[in-house]
Structure 1
């Protein structure tokens, strides 16, 4: 099939797990013989003079990376306007592409590309498939407190209801999407994130150096990695650290990543009197991250909200013992007592107890880590995920009537116009 994929991040422009997901899926589809074009963007804050629109082919995937438009719009300050401008640039590049290449399906990844994906699917008269990687409501624990949150929710609703087929990365997300956007859960395909099961080998001397840099040569070393945002729960690990250090003196927490919650998290370390026991490493390149994963006595993923948790797969690939909350898809990525230890989101005591079990019983932790690594080749194979994605494409293509099938050559292909959704008040995920 000929696939036009749209994503607001694609390596080397990576914000979170979405970019890595789209990159791996696109290359696997290409490896299976499909023709894939990825429409994405240049880095934030650039313009056409420094980063013009570029066309490249990597690993069999044709990548069209569009330049930002001239208006002064900042992602951090003007999110919705910035997103609309990005979409406008993608539409222009997409129309130019469609003049010389025909897609069989358009695949949108998340709300930020809803406008260009819908416009280009209609221009090409092909099915629209959408993967919803997270929801604005979920990120805010069921609430839409500000106008911007409500605007984003309405775009997500539009994309979910306009798409001919939907994909989520976990069964938990399927239920969330069905509830929030009034769509039939039976029509949502669940396709997990994937990872290459090849182990990440790191030489012993680099592991020792990493432990030394974290000042945990003899003491236990815990690692959190990912975006530093409230919903990722690093504050709960900080809150549990005093109890962990009482039973395992000298325990150090290394935090790898960046995000808007970093300064608040530093204040939390002071509040709990563990500032000297917490190391902020910033965003690590893949090689250094692999080294830290190999050096850690446990990787702790204390998310309050997690659509899936690709970080759990990366930790498993490195052979690191896992301690994770059961938030969303993490409960599917980490099987309690089998591939890691779990606790309820926000349960500080449960987090501390699970970490102490790992540190007290390293042999049991190693057995679970090995089981987690072995599971990657079966449950999280990109080959299987790509095959499932193609099945969704084929189902979408079969379900959409050709333009003019009603007898009117100018008729739209059987899709009703959508009204503006109402924004409910209160907690949308309660009950």
Structure 2
């Protein structure tokens, strides 16, 4: 475990961007996204990154040494020690005198930080505007918890224009208090590859279609399973790789038309295996029937992999149809199969898509740009708070 560093008292200024900020970033989840963000922000600002130590240890390697990482003994939300934990946390944060406190996920006891630190400026990133269909894990936390933080934050961030409108409508928040900042590319997994070059699927002699992540109803895995016969009739060497865990897999196993056409890892996937799976894939598939955005899509882009995704949430805002991947209607197994076949049969088109993806990774989804946009959100939040006092 890396120890937390001391707090620097000096604040420098950059003429181009304004004063150097002291940022407290609190993440109860979405760790991969937040790691990339704090690493980028720390190039110009002082960042304290607070995480649950027991759930974060496998990712410590990815946090830049500039970031002050605090691995906290963070109780679960039903633990009676939570109140004392939040009181101690508020006392520590108050001593640091941050300019911004940025929440990445709602958590029941963290709501108390707002009244306890009422002289602070709060920003929250809302990754998922609506609860996911069938995601029982997320539903264990009452919806009012996130709603409280959303309604009391000085400014909000979400990842797409459609999400912005939905967030404003759901929580009765003015549109001008919400900023749209794209979900950046999750590139740190590439550091775990034994070699930066080469697609290892070529050595296996097969074409691999990857479905990766938590397995819940909203991910639409059943439609990819239904698409398999059509895919493998057209591309006999194709195999569908399913990697991840979630709800009971038995019902999906019973759906498999040709089990030998699937490679299944229904388990926790270690970081190095994540890198290997994406490196090996020819196409990454997101057959979601619901959802807001996708970190899986941004891991695929980090590896230069074209995606086949559905038009749900703001996923379609991140996929340039026919350029970085293909978009199909949700719940349409035939359209899903056709788009996958189209890409598997055309290596030259996949190569062209990789080039377009690389350009977007270096521009639209680059963390340097996202950090600048986030800094602008911070300064707007500070201005809003100062005028509302």
TM-score by length of 2: 0.82
Residue in 2 aligned with 1:234? 221
Taking only aligned residues, the RMSD between alpha carbons, in angstroms, comes to 3.2
258-267 or 23-32: bigger deviation: 258-267
Does the CA-based 8 Å contact 1:168-1:190 persist in structure 2? Answer: yes
Partner-residue secondary structure (3-state), 2:101: strand
2: distance between equivalents of 1:317 and 1:285?
17
Could you tell me how far 1:261 is from its partner in structure 2? 4.6
1: distance between equivalents of 2:235 and 2:273?
26
1: distance between equivalents of 2:113 and 2:359?
42
2: distance between equivalents of 1:328 and 1:59?
35
Does the CA-based 8 Å contact 1:322-1:369 persist in structure 2? Answer: no
Residue in 2 aligned with 1:340? 325
Task: Rate the CA distance shift 1:239–1:183 in 2: closer, same or farther, 3 A.
Answer: same
Task: Rate the CA distance shift 1:39–1:290 in 2: closer, same or farther, 3 A.
Answer: closer
Residue in 1 aligned with 2:376? 391
5+ long unaligned stretches in structure 1: 10-17, 74-79, 403-412, 415-431
Matches within 5 A, 1:156-167: 156-167=146-157
2: distance between equivalents of 1:158 and 1:35?
27
Residue in 1 aligned with 2:83? 88
Does the CA-based 8 Å contact 1:129-1:396 persist in structure 2? Answer: yes
Residue in 2 aligned with 1:155? 145
Residue in 2 aligned with 1:40? 51
Matches within 5 A, 1:111-130: 111-112=106-107, 115-120=109-114, 122-123=116-117, 125-130=119-124
Could you tell me how far 1:121 is from its partner in structure 2? 6.2
1: distance between equivalents of 2:140 and 2:173?
18
Deviations 1:239-286 (A, max 9, x none): 1111212222242111122222534332332xxx22222212234334
Residue in 2 aligned with 1:102? 97
Does the CA-based 8 Å contact 1:94-1:120 persist in structure 2? Answer: no
Could you tell me how far 1:391 is from its partner in structure 2? 1.1
Task: Rate the CA distance shift 1:297–1:309 in 2: closer, same or farther, 3 A.
Answer: same
Residue in 2 aligned with 1:77? none
376-385 or 360-369: bigger deviation: 360-369
2: distance between equivalents of 1:27 and 1:205?
25
TM-score by length of 1: 0.75
Residue in 1 aligned with 2:72? 66
Give the counterpart of 1:299 among 284, 287, 297.
Answer: 284
Partner-residue secondary structure (3-state), 1:237: helix
Does the CA-based 8 Å contact 1:235-1:265 persist in structure 2? Answer: yes
1:377 is the counterpart of 2:374? no
